[in-house]
Structure formats: C-alpha cells, structure tokens
Amino acid sequence: MQEIDVRGLPPPEPFENIMRTLQKLPAEETLQVLIHREPFPLYEALRNSGYTWQANALEDGSFNILITRAA
C-alpha cells in the first residue's frame, strides 16, 4: 500500500497530488490518503476514472481514504 499525506496543503494541491499519484499506482495496489477535510470533488473524479474508495473520519477531523481501481 502506498500512502500520501496532503493534510494542510492549499487547494488544489491535495487533489492534484492524489490524481498524479494514482496515475503511477500499479493496478493491484491501494493508495492511502490522509487529508484534512472530506474531499467531495475528489469522489466524483474517482468515480469517473474507475476507482473505488473507502473514507473514514479520524478523531482529529481529518480523513483517511483508501483508493483502489475498480475491478
């Protein structure tokens, strides 16, 4: 599993970093993203690009999101 932490980056850097990392991610690998807010625009981009995700809110208000390519 690959992990990136984009907490605290100003928009649109978190989105751009996530999408850039996903382009390089092997098909069978999962990307774990730590982000400071729930990224609703990202979800639509993931859906349109053939990815699935699972988002979990953390105690500090940030989110842990696991992203994989849909089978």
Annotated domain spans of the chain: 2-69
- Nearest of 43, 42, 39, 35 to residue 62 by alpha carbon: 35
pLDDT tens for 5-34 read 999 999 999 999 999 999 999 988 999 999
pTM: predicted TM-score of the whole model, two decimal places: 0.94
pLDDT of residue 63: 98
E strand or H helix at 22: helix 13-24
pLDDT digits 0-9 by tens, 32-51: 999 999 999 999 999 999 99
- What dotted CATH number matches 2-69? 3.30.110.40
